[in-house]
Structure 1
Amino acid sequence: MTATPILFDCDPGHDDAIALVMAHRSPAIEILGITTTCGNSELEKTTANCLRILEFIGANDVPVAQGCDRPLARPLVLGTADGPSGLEGSPYLPPAKKQVVDQHAVDFLAEKLAAQPEPIQVVATGPLTNIGLLVLKHPQVLSKIKNLIWMGGVFYRKSEIITPTEFNAFCDPEALKIVLDSGIPITMLGLDVTMQVLVEAPQFAELEKIDSPLGKVVVDWLKFYEKLHRNSMGVGGALHDPLVIAAVIDPTLIRTKPVHIGVNLAAGYSFGATVADFWNERGEKPNASIAYEVDSDRFFDLLYSLLRD
C-alpha cells in the first residue's frame, strides 16, 4: 500500500486528538506536517494539546507549525465541547518537550506544498483561518492542493432555506468564503454525516476492550467529550474530525455530491450558515463536494482496528 501524503490543519480538541491518532497509526497516511489554529480553544492551548498528543503516540518526527490566533475579520469565539484546556479528561498526559518549528503555519504550508512533486491532500478539522490566509498570501501554491477535505458546514434536509450553523464555519466564515472562492477542490464533511458516527454504549463497550495506554486515553477523552453532547442534544459524542481521516484512508466510507455552496456573512440567526444549491437553481458552478451519507459501522470498525494494532 502506498501511503497518501497529507498536511493536517487542526485545533485539538478531543475529536481532533483522535483524528491525529488515527492518521499517525494508519499505514495509508503519511503526515508531512501539522499546523494549528485557534477554534476549540486559544491557539496556545490547541498547539500545546497537539504537541502533547504527538509526543504521547510517538510522533515526535512530525513537524508542527503554529498558525493564526484569531479569525481573519472578527473576534475569536471559542468552542465549548472540550473544556478549559481544550483537552480535558486526561490530566495525566504531561506537557510535551516537543517544540513547534520556527515558522508561521501559513508559510510552513506554502513551503511544504511547493516542495511536493505532485498535488497532495490537505486535511482541515478546525476553522479555515490558516487555509484562508494561505489563499491570500501564497496563491502560487494552490495548484499543489489536490483536494482540501474539511470538517465543516451543515446542510441537513435539502428543502431548508435557513440552515443551522456549524462551529468551524461560524468561527471564521470569511476564511471559509475565501477558500470556497479560491478554486481549490474541496470536500466538506458536515454535521449531516458526522452526527451519524456517535459514540454510544455499544461503541464505549468496544473501546473499553482495548487494554492499552492509548485505549485508556481515548476512552477518557470520549467520556469527557460526551458530556456536552449528552446534556445538550441527548446523544453520545460525535466523532466529527476522525471521520475526515477515515475518509482519507477509505474514501468509500462516504458519498458526496458536487454543489455550489455559499456562506452567510450577515448578522442574524443564520450568521455563518452554509447554504447548498442542491439542484443548481442559480446556475453557479459547483465549488465543493459535500458528504451526505456515511457507512457508520465500517467507520467504527476502522477506528477500532487502528486503536488495537
Structure 2
Amino acid sequence: MKRPVILDCDPGHDDAISLILALSSSELDVLAVTTSAGNQTPDKTLNNALKVLTLLNRYDIPVAGGALKPLARELIIADNVHGETGLDGPKLPEPAFAPVEQTAITLMAEKVRQSKSPVTLVPTGPLTNIALFIATYPELLSNIDSIVLMGGAAGVGNWTPAAEFNIFVDPEAADMVFKSGIPIVMCGLDVTHQAQIMDEDIERIRAINNPIAKCVAELLDFFMIYHRDPKWGFTGAPLHDPCTIAWLLNPELFTFVDCWVGVETKGQHTQGMTVVDRYQLTENRHNAKVLINIDRPGFVDFIVTRLSEY
C-alpha cells in the first residue's frame, strides 16, 4: 500500500530534487504539494513548485501557496544560495497549470481528512504552514502519521553559528511543531552535511539518458557554486532536503537517536537553535528521531536509481 504524503517546500534546488525523487516513487502517494516562503519569496517558491511539476507532467497533483511570512517575524530568504529565481541554473518550463484556490493549510486539511490512511507531512522549508495546520485543525492530528522534516542541527548551524536556516526563519513555528506530540523525524545538518554530492556524482547523474536527470545535474551545477566557498570545508554540495525522501524510502541508509528537541526562540545569539538532548540531561520525553549518520555512497545510488526511472 502506498504511503500518503504531503510535501511542504520552498523550492530551492534541493527542494526541487526532493520533489523529483518523491514523484519517481511508486511507494509514495503524493496527495498535495504546498509551498512556504524561505529559499525565495512566496510567489517564487510557488511558481517553482509548479515549474517542477510541469517538468514532470504531474498536473494531477494539487498545489497551494502558504503563509507569506513567518508567524511573528519578517521574512528572510536565501537568494545568495538559490539565485534570483530560487532555481537558477537549468531552463525549466513555465507552469502549465495553476495552483488551487485554497490555501496551503486548507488543502492539507482536505487531504488529511479524506485520507483512509494516516498522512506523513514532509516539510523541507520553514515550518510556518505546518504550525498553522496544527493550530487550526487539531481534530485532524490523529490522522497524521508523522512529520519528516529537514531542519535543525544537534551541532553548529549554517545560517548563524547556532541555527540552521529553516528553523531560524520561523523559530516560533518550529517550537509549535516540536511541541505538538506528533512523531517527528529530524533530518538536520548533522546528517545532511554528510549527504554531499561530489563532482563525479553529478557527472554520473548527467549520464542518465533522460531529461529529468539532465535537469537535476544542472540544478546541482548551480547549487555547487555556493558550497565551494572554502569556509564550509565541503568537498561537494550537501543535499539537505532529499534526505527526507531517502528516509521514507530507504531508512536503512541512516542511523538515528531518539531525543528531546527544543527550539530556542528568544536567545540573543541562539535564536532558532535546536537544542538536542543527546545524553538525556533533562527529564523531557523524547519527541524526535534525530538522524545522525548516512551511508553516502548508498544515498548517491538511491538518487541515481530513482532518476533512472524517469
TM-score when normalising by structure 1: 0.95
CA separation in 1, counterparts of 2:93 and 2:277? Answer: 47
Partner residue in 2 for 1:22: 21
Partner residue in 1 for 2:56: 57
Question: Are residue 164 (structure 1) and residue 162 (structure 2) matched?
Answer: yes
Partner residue in 2 for 1:262: 262
Q: CA deviation at 1:97?
A: 2.1
- Post-superposition CA distance 1:167-216 (Å, at most 9, x none): 00001000000111111111100000011111112212311211321122
Aligned-residue sequence identity (percent) comes to 38
Partner residue in 2 for 1:117: 116
CA separation in 1, counterparts of 2:278 and 2:197? Answer: 30
Stretches of structure 2 that go unaligned for 5 or more consecutive residues are: none
Partner residue in 2 for 1:287: 287
Partner residue in 1 for 2:191: 193
Contact 1:11 1:36 in 2 (8 A): yes
Aligned residues: 303
Partner residue in 2 for 1:240: 240
CA separation in 1, counterparts of 2:167 and 2:214? Answer: 32
Partner residue in 1 for 2:143: 144
CA separation in 1, counterparts of 2:198 and 2:299? Answer: 14
Residues 1-309 of structure 1: pairs in structure 2 closer than 5 A: 2-79=1-78, 80-90=80-90, 92-156=91-155, 164-231=162-229, 232-235=231-234, 236-309=236-309
Q: Which amino acid in 1 is paired with 2:21?
A: M
Structure 1 stretch 193-202 or stretch 17-26: which is displaced more? 193-202
Contact 1:154 1:163 in 2 (8 A): no
Q: Which amino acid in 2 is paired with 1:17?
A: A
Contact 1:68 1:129 in 2 (8 A): yes
- Post-superposition CA distance 1:215-250 (Å, at most 9, x none): 221111111111111125242211111111111111
- Post-superposition CA distance 1:233-269 (Å, at most 9, x none): 2422111111111111112221221111111112422
Q: Which amino acid in 2 is paired with 1:142?
A: L
CA separation in 2, counterparts of 1:135 and 1:216? Answer: 38
Contact 1:154 1:166 in 2 (8 A): yes
TM-score when normalising by structure 2: 0.94
CA separation in 2, counterparts of 1:198 and 1:252? Answer: 18
CA separation in 2, counterparts of 1:70 and 1:18? Answer: 24
- Post-superposition CA distance 1:91-143 (Å, at most 9, x none): x2232121111101011111111112231211110000000011111111111
CA separation in 1, counterparts of 2:227 and 2:40? Answer: 18
Runs of 4+ in structure 1 deviating by more than 6 angstroms, as ranges, are none
Does the residue aligned with 1:81 lie in a helix, a strand or coil?
Answer: helix
CA separation in 2, counterparts of 1:197 and 1:277? Answer: 23
Q: CA deviation at 1:163?
A: 6.7
Q: Which amino acid in 2 is paired with 1:221?
A: L
CA separation in 1, counterparts of 2:96 and 2:206? Answer: 29
CA separation in 2, counterparts of 1:254 and 1:143? Answer: 27
Contact 2:162 2:271 in 1 (8 A): no
CA separation in 2, counterparts of 1:278 and 1:154? Answer: 12
CA separation in 2, counterparts of 1:118 and 1:27? Answer: 16
Contact 2:113 2:143 in 1 (8 A): yes
CA separation in 1, counterparts of 2:164 and 2:148? Answer: 16
Does the residue aligned with 2:31 lie in a helix, a strand or coil?
Answer: strand
CA separation in 1, counterparts of 2:280 and 2:5? Answer: 32
CA separation in 1, counterparts of 2:202 and 2:96? Answer: 31
Does the residue aligned with 1:25 lie in a helix, a strand or coil?
Answer: coil
CA separation in 2, counterparts of 1:192 and 1:164? Answer: 13
RMSD across aligned positions (CA): 1.5
Contact 1:155 1:163 in 2 (8 A): no
